Amino acid sequence: MCATAASGKELLQVAVVDQDGRQVMKELVQPSSEVLDYRTELTGITAEQLRGVTTTRKAAAARVAQLLQPGTVLVGHSLHYDLQALQLDHQPVIDTALLFSYE
């Protein structure tokens, strides 16, 4: 997530791995409004990396939705933020934020 002028926070990248840790999807996403802070120290993403990226949030969400089957268990840290950013709703989830905190 980056800080933007219009909506406060926007998606920068989507990454999905399978149950064996193999990368299924990793895609940069072009924010729809001006980026104020890429939060590179957390995201690892810079303005240079986004040059030429045309994938929208909606397109990235559609790709993720295609991967989600009924009964697919999503595992991640603070998943509600990811699902909110993608504007997706999915259950079941295992949220590691309940087990480990970020400091």
Q: Could you read off the pLDDT of 77-96 as tens digits, one per residue?
A: 889 999 999 999 999 999 99
Give φ, ψ of 74 to 5 degrees.
-90, 130
Position 7 scores a pLDDT of 80
pLDDT digits (tens, 9 = 90+) for 2-54: 999 988 899 999 999 999 999 999 999 999 999 999 999 999 999 999 999 99
Position 98 scores a pLDDT of 86
Give residue 103's pLDDT band: very low, low, confident or very high (50, 70, 90).
low
Rounded average pLDDT over 46-71: 95
